[in-house]
Amino acid sequence: MATSTIPFARGLPGIGSVIDMARDTRAFLTDSYLEHGPVFGMRLLNRHYTVLAGVEANRFLAREGTRHFRSFEFWSGFNAWFGAARSTLSADGAEHAAFRRALKRGYSREYAVERMDGMIDIARQEIAAWPLTRPMPAAPALQRIVTDQVGTLVGGVSPRAYNDDLVRYVHAVLSATLVPSPHLRWSPRFRRASARVDRLYREVIECHSGSMRERHGAEPDLIDDLLDLHEADPRFFPEADLKLAALGPFVAALDTVAGTCAFMLYALLRHPDVLERVREEADDLLTGSAPAAERLRQMDTLHRAALETMRMYPVTPLLIRTAANSFEFAGHRIPAGERMMIATAVPHYLPEYFPEPERFDIDRYGPERAEHKKPYVYAPFGLGSHRCLGNGFAEVQIAATMATILHEVDLDLDRAGYNLKTTQFPMPAPDESFKVRVRGRRGAVQPLAERKPWSAAGGARGVLAGGALWGALGAEAAREAFRSFTPAHLGRRTFIR
């Protein structure tokens, strides 16, 4: 029989638990779970949430999520900033399944593996510009690399020239989705960033209109798939929803993969023994001649280090939902319409599943212990129908990026013994105080233009057109060249000009 009193997490009058959440979201949710059990209430400013936490909550989300939860209310606020009524994240049921099908190929692990050498090339170019011996904030440097990789290789356009505006826009919009921000629209900085993001979108569409794909012999990418979907069924996928979906690759990795890489870099610099083991594998990955998939399979230490990073420093420690149908959970009745938070990363720090949870221990993932394989305890990519569609892509990207860094440079923490400080909004990440120094370069970095195209068949479009052209002509000239290379009259897709 369901009881009615749901305990409440600690908080302050007026603001609720905002300060504790801002200090360390994952830790606060774990502490609240240990104090109150698997269901508790929480207020963040003027919003009330019912939180479900622990392994039972993860199991419930995975098994019953489609029946009892929906994502629409939370994500539709985010969609609106892009003029969209729907997105994969906000859709549920049959519509959601159709969206996922359309995105599947472009975000797949296989697609990423084929482009792994392209990811390495992009990382190399960025790392070559890292200053010698001067302290450098690590998180923004990693953000530039991963945004460029996923934008170039999945979206077909390098967002390098847009990076700061893109980050500013996405962070502002995500924060405004979490906590209403009625004046944001009028901020001149935000408006400028918004105009730049619009321009990036137009560039993406321009470079996919016409017969670019045929002329370059490149395989279709995510944007081609989206445009095909729109053409095939403009009522299901209208032009107004295209912008958000097409900017997806530019947004998806910006905080998730970048934050994970930054956390991983910190963890490795604090564990030099693991760093050296990962570096040996990295040297093989970057110098070996076996196919990318084979080289990746041999990155066992790096893979384990990534798993341990995502356990200890989950960048998405919670998911937001609305109760679509009333239900009972752990003796409590949750009414339909309730705003829900599922604290998916709480089991990551429960010693019954991960002994000594505060210890960075990559041996947890060996075949003898395999702690992450216990059902529903390990959920860095979420659970259920909305589980991250890019998880395989992200794993390849993390491996390629971290391996390239370790292969190319010797790094030190700016301050020996530095203890990590984080920011939590809009997503957990190391803050600006996490700085590294390049002690030295480990080998000559070959300029991109002198190297062979990285891709198998036609994937060269991203790096050749977006990279070599960029390097040879400069950003503005390269964009111009790209534009003139895509005359509108060639386009079978000319609906956006």
Residues that bind ligand HEM (CB under 6 A): 71, 88-89, 100, 103, 107, 150, 154, 248-249, 252-253, 256-257, 260, 315-316, 319, 380-382, 386, 388-390, 393-394, 397
Q: How far apart are the first and last CA of the chain?
A: 60
Cβ-proximal residues to 65 (8 Å cutoff; 6+ apart), any chain: 321, 383, 384, 385, 386
Cβ-proximal residues to 201 (8 Å cutoff; 6+ apart), any chain: 243, 246, 247
Alpha-carbon span 111 to 114, nearest angstrom: 5
User: Beta-strand (E) ranges in 326-454?
Assistant: 327-329, 332-334, 339-343, 409-413, 422-423, 429-430, 435-441
Nearest to 10 by CA among 56, 41, 45, 48: 41
Q: Least distance to ligand HEM from the beta carbon of 78, Å? A: 11
CB 253 within 8 A of CB 185: no
Q: Least distance to ligand HEM from the beta carbon of 93, Å? A: 12
Alpha-carbon span 323 to 49, nearest angstrom: 11
Q: Least distance to ligand HEM from the beta carbon of 74, Å? A: 8
Using the 8-state DSSP alphabet, how is residue 488 labeled?
A: G
Residue closer to ligand HEM (CB basis): 190 or 327: 327
Q: Least distance to ligand HEM from the beta carbon of 386, Å? A: 3
Count of CA atoms in the C-beta half-sphere (13 A) of 143: 23
Residue closer to ligand HEM (CB basis): 92 or 283: 92
Q: Least distance to ligand HEM from the beta carbon of 252, Å? A: 4
Alpha-carbon span 21 to 34, nearest angstrom: 16
Q: Least distance to ligand HEM from the beta carbon of 139, Å? A: 14
Residue nearest to ligand HEM (CB): 390
Residue 219 buriedness (CB in 10 A; 0-12 / 13-18 / 19+): middle
Residue closer to ligand HEM (CB basis): 64 or 283: 64
Backbone angles phi, psi at 8, to 5 degrees: -120, 135
Residue closer to ligand HEM (CB basis): 51 or 89: 89
Q: DSSP 3-state assignment of 52? A: strand
Q: How far is CA 211 from CA 1, 316, 477, in A?
A: 63, 39, 21
Q: Least distance to ligand HEM from the beta carbon of 437, Å? A: 26
| DSSP per-residue codes, 56-125 | HHHHHHHHHHHHHEE-HHHHHHHHHHTT-S--TTT--HHHHHHHHHHHHTTTSHHHHHHTHHHHHHHHHH
Q: Least distance to ligand HEM from the beta carbon of 103, Å? A: 6
Q: Least distance to ligand HEM from the beta carbon of 1, Å? A: 31
- Owner of token pair 């399979």: 297
**Peptide bond before residue 426 is cis, with ω within 30 degrees of 0:** yes
Q: Least distance to ligand HEM from the beta carbon of 387, Å? A: 6
Q: Least distance to ligand HEM from the beta carbon of 427, Å? A: 9
| DSSP per-residue codes, 432-459 | TT-EEEEEEESSPPPPGGGSPP--SSST
Count of CA atoms in the C-beta half-sphere (13 A) of 335: 5
Residue closer to ligand HEM (CB basis): 190 or 250: 250
